Every structure is written in structure tokens, then in C-alpha cells.
Structure 1
Amino acid sequence: MGTLFRMATGVLLMAQIGTSSGQDVARIARGKYLMEGVVACGNCHIARGEKGEPIFSRGLSGGMVFDEPPFKAYAPNITPDPETGIGKWTDAQLGKAIREGIRPDGSIIGPPMPIEFYRRMSDADLAAIIAYLRVQPPVKNAVEKSKYNIPLPPNYGPAVKGIRAPSPKETIKYGEYLANIGHCMECHTPRDEKGMLQLTRLGAGGQVFKGPWGESVARNLTPHESGLKGWNKTEIALAIRGIGKNGAHYKPPMAFDWYKNINASDMNALVAYLGSLRPQPFAGRE
């Protein structure tokens, strides 16, 4: 079914591209690469079965549950369905939701949506993602509203605009940019007792994730003895794609099915950025 859905999506994309300008074609292609690669929105927003398996035939219609002590959140439907998805949202409203965490009705989007990191997304990449979402097949799927046992912030900061991505020639800076829009540190940085990221321990890992796969612990991404010190670039790149040094496949919720599509140049930048992090001891249990 996954192959069939991708074929159907491809047909729809081609139909859209056939009536689009060259600029639109390039924007949709960039959005497709981001969404199916480093940004990996589908890792949360794709429909899931009872065992957590992706249901590709239902696309980005949401429903994945995040059941944690601070909240029980449901990934919303982000297909262009006008009743249960984003079909009635304007591009500006969709951009504000993605990058600022504010819905069209003014309500705040709570965790696990990584708004703090998406605020650093460039205007061009935001526009590309919106263009890609617009050409997805609409799927009618009403998703429950998330419930929070913690107060949500009134906002995540001032309005965001005028953001430009670093040049890919600035390898480490561009790698940091990719890590931000890929929200790597959302999972690989420890949290305090209030659930806030401990940014002074950026990349030190330790967060525990429970799901149909059992339990997984976020690894230390810094060049510390308990992290990636001694790993070569190829090993780190394979790990990002889901394969450990011993050849075993890592557990979810890391978005391996999407990260495997990151191109070699971007992967090189990501690996270079991780190597530039301040070494930190592992923040979790061994």
C-alpha cells in the first residue's frame, strides 16, 4: 500500500507540476525533499495502525498518539481536506502554524510539535513545505484534540519573518540549520523536571521514549566518550539512517524511514555539525 500511495501522490504531483511555473516546480520539489527527508513531518503526521505501523494509503492524515504525563497529544491531519485537514487554511495561516505554533483560530499548538526549532526555518523552505502540502491527496480523517496537563505558553516569541538559510558552503552552519529544521535536539537533549530542554547540555541524549516498539533512549550525539567520539563519518551517517555500528537497526521514534532520503551533501553537513558540538557526558541511564 505504501508503494501505491506514493505512486498516487506522484501522479498528483505531476498533474500539479504540469500546470505550474518553473519556480513553482522547483519549490514543490524542494518541499518534497524536505518533507521526505530531514524535516520528516510524516514521522508524526502519517496515519498509523494499532502497532504503530505507517498506513501510507492514508497519507499525512494524522492520528498518532503521544501519551506522556504532561499531555496526551494527537498528530493532526495535515492533508488538504477542507473539513478535517488544512484545506481551508491560507498559506499565511499554515506558515504561522508551522513556524510560530499559532492556529488560524489563535490557539497555541503544544508539544511535541517542535516550534522552538521550526522558528529557525527559512522563509524559502517554509514556502516549499507549504507548496508540497498543497499538492498532497486530501484525506478525510477527524483527529481528536490534544489534552494538556501543563500550561501552554501564550506564544513562542515574536512573529518570525525574513529568515534565510546559511549557504551550504558554510558546512557546519548549514548542518546546524538542517539539524534545527530536522529538530534533532528536540529528542537528543535532556529535559528538566518541568519538561524544558536543558540547552546547556545540547545533544547529550537521555530522553526515554515508550511505544509499540518497547522503550528506546535518545543517544548522546556529542563527540564525548559516551557519545560519538571514535565514530567515523560513515558510521554516523549510517546511524542517522537507522543502522548502528553493529549492523542492528535502531528503534523508533527516530525518523529513519525519512532520514534515509537525505542526500550525501546534506548528510555531510549534519555530521560535521555534530562533530562541532561541545562534548557532553551522556545524560541518561546506561
Structure 2
Amino acid sequence: MATFRQWGWWAAIAAAGAATQAAAQAPGSLERGRYLMQTVVACGNCHFQRGPQGQPLPEKGLSGGMLFDEPPFKAYASNITPDPETGIGKWTDAQLAKAIREGIRPDGRVIGPPMPIEFYRHLADDDLAALIAYLRAQPPVKNAVPASTYTMPLPPNYGPPVKSVTAPPRSDKVKYGRYLADIAHCMECHTPRNDKGMLETARRGAGGQVFKGPWGASVSRNLTPHPSGLKGWSDAEIAKAIRTGMDRQGKPYRPPMGFGFYEGISEPDMAALVAYLRSLKPLPFAGAQK
């Protein structure tokens, strides 16, 4: 059976992401937005259309439609291209910012899971502006996406309005690494959930979530410096696993790990991410298998 990488689904994405490393990244610029979107934030991991085997179709842009059928919800990724009828073409920058960082649509409706609003609330103002600039620059793609349905109550909001956020200084590797991990929503997958579907924040990074799809079932790994996690791994081994989707023995990881995007993460950003993972509390693997 072919592996995810052998199918070649991520070749175009990885090439585009790698090309952004050398680009100028002025705060709030289109270039910064392109880098974030094609690497760390990786919105296309959910918002790309998918083919019959679940393969991403980057040529159709961020036009949405991917189904997340995980009771208590049946959610579809939205069309976030500038199409005026089926996408975000009629939204203002302020409305886009509120939707991304606070999970509130222009009509006041709350955006439900799996949109990781709790993590996007940490997006710095400059990076939020850069992401919006990138979305504005994309070609509009008409794709009407079904409405998501939830059998669980959605919160009225995800917290008070976010007034302003500044990213930590890059000189503080651990804090900046946490910032990158937050906007990449790494812990949305790599933290276990309780029987109500809520993240168990006391076990941050311990893995164990199960993700089912055309690839079968994948289990998120333990990212903490525990023997069942990353203890004993070198920085280079961690970076290689994130970028290539292969463990130390050359065994391929399965989706939804977005290594096709992460391949383009810059060396300084990867060093910060690794430093942050090293700082996590060592915790035993939270899943039933490793």
C-alpha cells in the first residue's frame, strides 16, 4: 500500500513553502502572510479541497469543503478565497480578523470546531494583518460549501474581544517557539481530550488523539521530553521528523500531520519550535498505542 508521501500529494505544497524561506518578511506584508500560510499556520491543511482519496488539491486554492465527520459535529472547512458569493469576498478586513482570531462571523454566528480559535487568539496583530493580505491576494474560487452541523452547544464566544497582541521577541527562543506552536495549533492535535472533547491542558503535548480518514487511523505522538516522547531525540531528528513526516527509523507519519507545509519552515523558526518542545513538562504518552 502506498504511503501518504509516496502518493506525491504534498510535492507542490512543499516546493511553494520552501521557496518562501528566502522571501522578505516585513511585518504585516503579503510576503510574511505567504510564508505563514504556506508553512507554520498551514491553513491549506484543512481549507484545500480534497480529491476522492482525501488528497489535497492546491490548484483549487483555499476553497474549502473538507469534511470533519467526528461526532458531535459534522463540519466542513469554509471557502476562504475572495469569491464574493461562496467565499470571503464581501468581508471587510476587520470582519476577517474577528473571524480568524475570535471565531465570530460577520453575521454574529460562532465558528465551531475544528477551527482552533483558542490558539488563533494568540496571533499577533502584524501576523494577522499579513494573513489577511495573503487571503486578499488569492484568486477567487467559486465553491459552495455545505453548512456545518453540531449536536453539541457552541459557546457564545471564545472569550472577550482581542484588543491587541504582540509576538514575543525572536531572541527568546522558548517564548517565540510557543508563539509559533500556538499559531500552528500543534497542541490542538498533540494534547489528549476528555470524554467531552475538551483539551486536557494539564497534559499538553502528550499526544494520543486518534484521527480517522482515507489513510486509516493515525495517533498523535507525544511531543514532550519523556521517554515515550522526544527524550533522546536530537534537535536535528526532531526538525527532520517535522519537515519530512518520517520518524527516526524512516517510518512515515500519516495525516493530518501537515509536513508538506512544515518542510518550508525557516531554520530560525524551527530552532525556536524545537526549543519550546524541549521546555514542555515530560509526560507519559496519553494514547493506547505508540
TM-score by shorter chain over 0.5: yes
With over 3 angstroms needed to count, the CA separation of the structure-2 counterparts of 1:88 and 1:200, relative to structure 1, is same
Q: Deviations over 1:219-263 (max 9, x none)?
A: 000000110000000110111111211122210001111111101
Equivalent in 265, 268, 271 of residue 271 of structure 2: 268
Q: Which residue number in structure 2 is paired with residue 154 of structure 1?
A: 156
Q: Which residue number in structure 1 is paired with residue 184 of structure 2?
A: 182
Q: Displacement of 1:23 after TM fit?
A: 9.7
Q: Deviations over 1:67-115 (max 9, x none)?
A: 1011010001000000000000000000000000000000000000000
Is contact 1:123–1:161 with CA below 8 Å preserved after alignment? no
Q: Which residue number in structure 2 is paired with residue 170 of structure 1?
A: 172
With over 3 angstroms needed to count, the CA separation of the structure-2 counterparts of 1:151 and 1:113, relative to structure 1, is same
Equivalent in 100, 103, 112 of residue 102 of structure 2: 100
| Pairs aligned (count) | 271
With CA pairs under 8 Å and 6+ residues apart, which has the higher RCO, 1 or 2? 2
Q: Which residue number in structure 1 is paired with residue 225 of structure 2?
A: 223
- Equivalent positions of 1:53-132 (< 5 A) are 53-132=55-134
1: CA distance between counterparts of 2:26 and 2:241? 34
Is contact 1:80–1:136 with CA below 8 Å preserved after alignment? yes
Is contact 2:28–2:127 with CA below 8 Å preserved after alignment? no
1: CA distance between counterparts of 2:255 and 2:34? 22
**Which structure 2 residue ranges, 5 or more long, are not aligned?**
1-8, 17-23
Q: Which residue number in structure 1 is paired with residue 3 of structure 2?
A: none
The CA RMSD measured in Å over matched residues stands at 2.0
Q: Deviations over 1:256-277 (max 9, x none)?
A: 1111110111000000000000
Q: Which residue number in structure 1 is paired with residue 142 of structure 2?
A: 140
Q: Displacement of 1:143 after TM fit?
A: 0.2
Is contact 1:123–1:164 with CA below 8 Å preserved after alignment? yes
Q: Which residue number in structure 2 is paired with residue 243 of structure 1?
A: 246
Aligned-pair identity (%): 68
Relative to the length of structure 1, the TM-score reads 0.91
**Which structure 1 residue ranges, 5 or more long, are not aligned?**
10-21
Following TM superposition, the consecutive aligned residue runs of length 4 or more in structure 1 with deviations greater than 3 angstroms are: 22-26
SS of structure 2 residue aligned to 1:152: coil
Relative to the length of structure 2, the TM-score reads 0.90
With over 3 angstroms needed to count, the CA separation of the structure-2 counterparts of 1:115 and 1:25, relative to structure 1, is closer
2: CA distance between counterparts of 1:258 and 1:145? 27
Q: Which residue number in structure 1 is paired with residue 36 of structure 2?
A: 34
